[in-house]
Amino acid sequence: MKKIIIGKLEKFGRAFLVPVAILPFAGIILGIGNGFTGNELVRVVPFLGTPIMAFIFGLFKVTGGAVFSNLPIIFAIGLAVGLSKREKGTAGLSAGLGYFVFINVMNFVLKGRGLLVSEDLASHGQKLVFGIQVYDVNVFGGIIISILAYYSIKHFIDIKLPSALSFFEGPRFVPLIVMLYSILAGIVCALVWPSIAGMITQISIFLTSLGAFGAFFYGMIERLLIPFGLHHALNSMMKFTELGGSATINGTTYYGFVNVFAGVLENAGAPFTRGMTQFYAGQFIVKIFGLTGAAFAMYKTSFLQHRTKTKAVLIAASIASILTGITEPLEFTFLFVAPVLYLIHAFLAGTAFFVMYITNTVAFGIQGAGLINFILYNVLNSSRVGWFGVLWIGPLYFLLYFFIFKYMILKFNYKTPGRSEEMTGLASKKDAREKYGIKAQSSAKGGSKSNEKKERALKLIEVHGGKDNIVDVDACITRLRIDVKDKSIVKKETITEELAAMGVTESGMQIQSIYGGDAKDYKLLIREQLGMEI
């Protein structure tokens, strides 16, 4: 039962990546529009204040703001698509339709009960959604409808009706069912949402009241959940719902710390506060500085004969962490060889959040905590963001990670990259071929990168026990996830040693292989080979 629950949560968390994936680009557009129109920058570069530039950057702000102003419907459609394995288009259409039914029914019930207010909507927990006045259920409304759409796809997609109604069978039946479910959801929310919102508010107040300790526990737990793939669900709840805090800016209430960030960006002159970045600021310290220190420690403790190869791999992984905030290549490197190092890393991450809070260092981003986001959202908004503490806290954490990791690696002889013949790096494709004498086909013989991936996809099917042993295939940002019937026949060593995975772990009956940005490609290729819906 425990494994089933964890598996469901993990699947739910991965599905969040579908709607969340659009936010980095939307956030960058919003950040550029806001950052390049700031008074300080315009004074330094007057050209940015000209009418044509103001028009261009105004378009940026409107475009980015349009995404963050409509997250509930985006989550309803995107999460339904992410959850569904079949008829994804039907799932998205059904969720979109269901969401509009949901808010209209809620409005109808509230109006009938005389509960709609005519002014000061925010203080009464109400807002206008597409011009319709409802309770401010925010992203929770989208999540509710997406789950109903997924449930409907799963249970009614193959329904058979009497011949007179056969036109409505299959995919056509699903939107009808979702509409009925959405009517029920709208009625229920109109009746019970104030009580639910009150409970969520109390939890949010409790988390925020913990101050530095709340930041510490969030930073540590978020890292600890990464190996299990459960961090997506936690992060999404904190980013887009009231659990991550709320703020009222110019009469509009924003829930979740990413929504709050976007709300401040959209309202020139609104300041950022420490509480707004309580559950985010520490990430910059960990991803730009801390893990880089850990990588340097692994390099310095590697054997001399392996350092050239180890350095190249660790530098590449460090650059990914520094620039974009993608940390899994580095984290999984020491997780697989020394889980104790990962526990230390999680604890240090929590302390980074703690220190950022007590020093009143304010730093934020929309998605990802790398150098690019740090400059875009913080440096360009210096008049509103107190990010300067990062300049001295970050180097301290680089040294802290370096000395602790170096001591632990040498003390316990952990086989981190470069400290054994087998572990000289992150097991790149080239390394694996050189080690096992596998010759790559030339491009003239069809050995293109695309063909290599197709060949590897076929081999991945084989090492996972073949078609009959594979139940499902999925992927998140960096991991290929394959559910199997019998995991004892999966050749995990082959996946890392011959098929160029950076590492392999398992969660229940799911085998997770680290392939970085190629994970999605392998997912599609394998599903295509197995005849699964793509």
Residues 316 and 362 in one domain: yes
Residues 85 and 152 in one domain: yes
pLDDT of residue 44 exceeding 90 = no
Residues 189 and 102 in one domain: yes
Residues 340 and 464 in one domain: no
- The predicted structure's pLDDT at residue 290: 93
Q: How far is CA 287 from CA 149, 301, 344, 368, 499, in A?
A: 37, 21, 15, 9, 28
Give the tens place of pLDDT for each residue, 194-213.
888 778 777 777 877 788 89
Residues 293 and 408 in one domain: yes
Residues 283 and 401 in one domain: yes
| Average pLDDT score over residue span 518-527 | 84
Domain that holds residue 162: 69-117+137-200
Judge contact between 476 and 290, C-beta under 8 A.
no
Contacts of 128 (CB under 8 A, 6+ apart): 121
Residues 401 and 282 in one domain: yes
More confident residue, 258 or 116: 116
- The predicted structure's pLDDT at residue 41: 65
pLDDT of residue 519 exceeding 90 = no
Pick from 200, 225, 248: which residue ends a domain? 200
Residues 408 and 447 in one domain: no
Pick from 200, 226, 241: which residue ends a domain? 200
For the chain, give the mean pLDDT. Answer: 80
Residue 41, in any domain of the structure: no
- The predicted structure's pLDDT at residue 285: 94
Residue 40, in any domain of the structure: no
Residue 487, in any domain of the structure: yes
DSSP 4-49: HHHHHHHHHHHHTHHHHTTHHHHHHHHHHHHHTT-HHHHHH-GGGG
Pick from 200, 219, 252: which residue ends a domain? 200
Give the tens place of pLDDT for each residue, 343-371.
999 999 999 999 999 998 888 877 778 88
pLDDT of residue 419 exceeding 60 = yes
- The predicted structure's pLDDT at residue 319: 84
Give the tens place of pLDDT for each residue, 461-491.
988 988 888 988 888 767 888 988 888 888 8
| Average pLDDT score over residue span 207-220 | 86
Residues 356 and 407 in one domain: yes
pLDDT of residue 435 exceeding 60 = no
How many alpha carbons lie under 13 Å from residue 163 in its C-beta half-sphere?
Answer: 0
Residues 283 and 393 in one domain: yes
- The predicted structure's pLDDT at residue 309: 79
The residues assigned a catalytic role are: 476
Residue 132, in any domain of the structure: no
Residue 378, in any domain of the structure: yes
pLDDT of residue 163 exceeding 50 = yes
Residue 60, in any domain of the structure: no
Domain count across the chain: 3
Give the tens place of pLDDT for each residue, 304-342.
888 887 888 788 778 878 887 777 778 877 776 778 888
Residue 393, in any domain of the structure: yes
- The predicted structure's pLDDT at residue 12: 67
Q: Rounded distance, CA 496 to CA 514, Å?
A: 9
Residues 456 and 394 in one domain: no
Going by pLDDT thresholds of 50, 70 and 90, the confidence category of residue 177 is very high
* CATH number for the domain that contains residue 525: 3.30.1360.60
Residue 3, in any domain of the structure: no
- The predicted structure's pLDDT at residue 437: 39
